[in-house]
Amino acid sequence: MGPDSHTEVVSEAGDVVQGFDLRTGKRLWTSKVIGEGKVPSTVIGDGLVFTSGGWGGKETTKAFKLGGTGDLDESNLVWEQRKGMPKVPSLIFVKPFLYAITDGGIASCLNSETGAIVWQERVGGNFSASPVAADGRIYFVGDDGETTVLAAGPQFDVLARNPLGEKLQASPAIAGKHIFIRTGKSLYCIGGK
């Protein structure tokens, strides 16, 4: 929901992040982001739009306020963070934090209001899949098929490491009390019956 109590569709295109009226499709606002190499999806939380992308030393994660009208350039920019920015996996918002994993296995927890790094630790491995969250846990699935489970929160706390022994790059999905993980050979459903 936008600040004016209407539903907006937020998307990125090239070098902008934009808000559209859900009912009419009219573009309401646009803000400037670094457009080259944009792979991670846009994430929304607590009235903010989080984006990450860029290449060649211009990688950045940005947070913009939702809302406004017209070409806002960077006037709605709340913060920018250049450390620990993912190039492929998307960010994940679990109030009040924003979590990221770099392609090279550095996990970060950011204060979603300020962009300040709460913790940044090496998980190890390579990552293409985006993290998912459920039940106070963040699930980071590496290209080698190992899932690292962290407690959501201000401390770096590894709860488990679960290897599947198969290569993968697809992001896991959560439905009910089940996690679905697709590898190059198999589809796994993990959870209670």
Taking the C-alpha atoms of residue 91 and residue 102, their distance in angstroms, rounded to an integer, is 10
Map 51-95 to HEC letters: EEECCCCCCEEEEEECCCCEEEECCCEEEEECCCCCCCCCCEEEC
Reported confidence tier of residue 90, pLDDT bands at 50, 70, 90: very high
Q: What is the per-residue pLDDT for 35? A: 62
Asked if residue 72 has pLDDT above 90, the reply is no
Are 154 and 97 a contacting pair, CB within 8 Å?
Answer: yes
- The structural domains of the chain, ordered by start, are 8-167 (2.40.128.630)
Taking the C-alpha atoms of residue 124 and residue 136, their distance in angstroms, rounded to an integer, is 22
Distances in Å between the Cα of 57 and the Cα atoms of 53, 61, 85, 115, 190 are 11, 13, 11, 19, 39
